[in-house]
Amino acid sequence: MRTSLHLLALASVAALACAPTRPAATPSPVPSRQVTILHFNDVYEITPVEGGKSGGLARVATIRERLLTNRTPLLTLLGGDFYSPSAMGLAQIDGSRLAGRQMVEILNAVGLDWAVLGNHEFDIREAEFRARLGESRFGHIAGNVTDSAGRLFPNTVPRAIVTVATPGGSVRIGLVGVTLDANRVPWVRYADPVEALRRDITALRDSVDLLVALTHQTLAEDQRAVELFPELDLLVGGHEHENYLLRRGPGFTPIVKADANVRTVALITLNPDAPAVVTDIRFVAVDASIPEHPGVAAQVQRWVDRVFAAYVAEGLDPTATVATIPEALDGREATVRVREGNLTALIAAALRGEVPDAEVGLMNGGSIRIDDVLPAGAVSQYDVIRVLPFGGLVSRTTMTGELLTRVLEQGIANRGSGGFLHADNVTRTNAGWMVAGEPIRPERVYVVATTDFLLTGRERGLDYLAPGTAGLGPITEFRDIRRAVIDEMARRWPKD
């Protein structure tokens, strides 16, 4: 919370006149109560991305260590989405999925202080989720998340007061945080985020020097939060995968988000005694110019070795070259959730190629989790696993033209979310949707190759796309989608 400036007492002129003459003394600098927040969000990979050029938690550990070496009073925060999803998290080790175990160990080593729960923390099973909480040496803010009985999960709190020592004295930072309810599972209950923030801000605002919201929700919801609660000095968040710095609300409260997979981290300086509490905000590019912390890098490599061995045991060879691609394949969320790209076109074609009589290949952009660009050159099996970490089976079904049109229209309506749909052998014109260059006929039955996930009805606005729906035919399952993509890439671009 913002503190008022202290008034300076003035010495009387008469007293000064009577004082003996002395050499002017240089005033001692007043010790500062300045605090730095190191913030990052939406981390799915413990290793660098973009062919090693960007990211990497061992580099983040170096940034943090340098700040501490310079005696910077520091608080390290994470804006959610770190247990899942990742190619590593789905590997079977010692008879069970990792489900974020590798991420927790590395974040512990980095020195993370607090995280807010992200919606993808609930991709994993309840037992796995509780195990990850127990393994974490950092705290979790969960202002609006409880178990199905309304109880807090272990190692979570709705709010916290964190005391940071500075040269000018201790600074009490109040943390509040909420999570969007995008992943609804039976063992989790979400309360209204606005009411949760109201409750927790009211409980903390008279007991702290600074009030910081650590959230995992949409940018629009974050803007609403700072508009409703001007007591907030700062909001740092996640969910979006690109960096943002906005100032909103009556006090122009900063909203800060960094780039996913620690392509950048945000460094934010606050001083509760300054007229403007947030004194500096900058993004630091995490690239090859920052050396990896040796201890953390060694832990990362141990996990890589274990995961690769696990995939070999499943019959995959993560290091094997699948194809040599002539151009980069764009798997960034800013592409796959908004428009067709060369990677989405490839995967939709691979679906159709897996089903011999399919007329349409259909997939959701949210199944692509790499949020990265595969550079031109050799592509490994592990690259394909990173693109599609959830895996899943290719499924054959039929749809009437009426149902197919309805599904395609909803896919367009889902633009900007994981439910944005990509289709192969389908085009959209001013006259309407077409398959193989012919207008879709409502009564005609089309053979569609899609994913088993899309046929569960769990995608946004497509709850009707499940067995029993009028116009939807029987479902036949084929191979894992990653196998289909590997074969499609090998067919198009034989490896050198």
pLDDT digits (tens, 9 = 90+) for 340-369: 999 999 999 999 999 999 999 999 999 998
Higher pLDDT, 66 or 386: 66
pLDDT digits (tens, 9 = 90+) for 428-451: 999 899 999 999 999 999 999 999
pLDDT for residue 204 is more than 50: yes
pLDDT for residue 22 is more than 70: no
- Give the Cα separation of 253 and 47 in Å (integer): 33
- Give the Cα separation of 233 and 37 in Å (integer): 13
Average pLDDT over residues 193-203: 98
pLDDT for residue 388 is more than 70: yes
pLDDT of residue 370: 85
pTM greater than 0.85 (yes/no): no
Average pLDDT over residues 10-27: 39
- Give the Cα separation of 138 and 125 in Å (integer): 21
Is there a contact between 264 and 30 (Cβ–Cβ < 8 Å)?
no
Per-residue tokens: 47: 């290793």
- Give the Cα separation of 449 and 396 in Å (integer): 5
Is there a contact between 423 and 328 (Cβ–Cβ < 8 Å)?
no
pLDDT digits (tens, 9 = 90+) for 265-292: 999 999 999 999 999 999 999 999 999 9
pLDDT of residue 27: 54
The CA–CA distances, whole Å, from 211 to 167, 233, 278, 378 equal 20, 5, 11, 48
Residues 481/415/370/465 CA torsion (nearest 10 deg): -30
**If you search the block for the tokens 């089309």, which residue do you land on?**
446
Domain limits, the chain: 30-294, 317-492
Which of helix, strand or coil describes residue 483? Answer: helix
- Beta partners for residue 213, in sequence order: 176, 235
Average pLDDT over residues 299-312: 94
Average pLDDT over residues 9-37: 54
Among 166, 137, 152, which Cα is nearest to 200's? 152
Our measurement of the distance from residue 333's CA atom to the centroid of its chain's CA atoms, rounded to an integer in Å, reads 11
CB atoms within 10 A of CB 8: 5
Higher pLDDT, 257 or 318: 257
pLDDT for residue 16 is more than 50: no
The CA–CA distances, whole Å, from 360 to 21, 68, 217, 311 equal 94, 56, 34, 31
Is there a contact between 361 and 404 (Cβ–Cβ < 8 Å)?
no
Q: What percent of the chain has pLDDT over 70?
A: 94
Among 171, 148, 176, which Cα is nearest to 160's? 176
**If you search the block for the tokens 């089903």, which residue do you land on?**
355
Give residue 68's identity as a one-letter amino acid code.
L
Question: Could you tell me whether strands 171-176 and 156-157 are parallel, antiparallel, or unpaired per DSSP bridges?
Answer: unpaired
According to CATH, the topology of domain 317-492 is: 5'-nucleotidase;  domain 2 (3.90.780)
- Give the Cα separation of 80 and 116 in Å (integer): 5
Per-residue tokens: 416: 């900007």
- Beta partners for residue 329, in sequence order: 374
Instruction: Provide the 8-state DSSP code for 14.
Output: H
The mean of the pLDDT values for the chain is 92
Q: Classify residue 402 by burial, with Cβ atoms within 10 Å: 0-12, 13-18, 19+.
A: middle
CATH superfamily of 30-294: Metallo-dependent phosphatases (3.60.21.10)
Our measurement of the distance from residue 24's CA atom to the centroid of its chain's CA atoms, rounded to an integer in Å, reads 57
pLDDT of residue 9: 30
pLDDT digits (tens, 9 = 90+) for 120-147: 999 999 999 999 999 999 999 999 999 9
